[in-house]
Amino acid sequence: MVSKLSLKSALYIICQCSWGVLQTLLGAVVFLIHIRDRHFVFHSAVVTCWKSRSSVSLGMFVFVTDKPYFAPKLAPEYTEKELSHRLLVHEYGHTIQSLILGPLYLLVMGIPSTLWGFLPSAQKKRREEGVSYFSFFTERWANLLGEKVTKSKSMENLLID
């Protein structure tokens, strides 16, 4: 008999490899490029800890920074371990967006999120106005979904820039 957890895992993987095939294939390529990095499974997603300063989710593949650069800037009540877990919950939320949006994920979530993160004008707005990166609709929704599914805290509206 198949347990509930393994059935959920199987459905997650099947949906990511069919409905979310575009981002999952891209994630598989990035995974192979970073095959020597540390990997683990989190709620059926394949997580890679990489040396990049940024984190990204591509289908069932999550790539998180191995050391949150923003950790020293935040309130002392957050340890680096706590922030790393919150970031993982946030990125896992993006994998749920992939399940919901399927082939539209890269267009509806990926492009706006990337522009919000890397456009100099967006970076300037966040820095000068004290706007949280996680207040943008793509990030706020990822926080909400990640928290709902994992029952853990996400990044909330922490300032990371």
**Domain boundary assignment for the chain:** 4-150
Residue 71's pLDDT band (cuts 50, 70, 90)? low
Tokens matching residue 44: 């059926």
11's CB contacts (< 8 A; 6+ apart) are none
Measured distance between the N- and C-terminal CA atoms of the chain, rounded to whole angstroms: 49
Helices (H), ranges, 62-136 = 80-101, 105, 111-118, 120-129
Q: Where is pLDDT greater, at 134 or 73?
A: 134
Residues 46, 151: Cα–Cα separation, whole Å: 19
At 125, the amino acid letter reads K
Indicate whether 127 pLDDT > 50.
yes
8 A C-beta contact, residue 68 and residue 84: yes
Residues 60, 51: Cα–Cα separation, whole Å: 19
Strand ranges, E, within 3-149: 38-42, 45-50, 56-58, 61-65
Q: Report the alpha-carbon angle 77-149-144, nearest 5.
A: 60
Indicate whether 2 pLDDT > 60.
no
Predicted local distance difference test score (pLDDT) of residue 26: 98
Predicted local distance difference test score (pLDDT) of residue 1: 45
Predicted local distance difference test score (pLDDT) of residue 72: 53
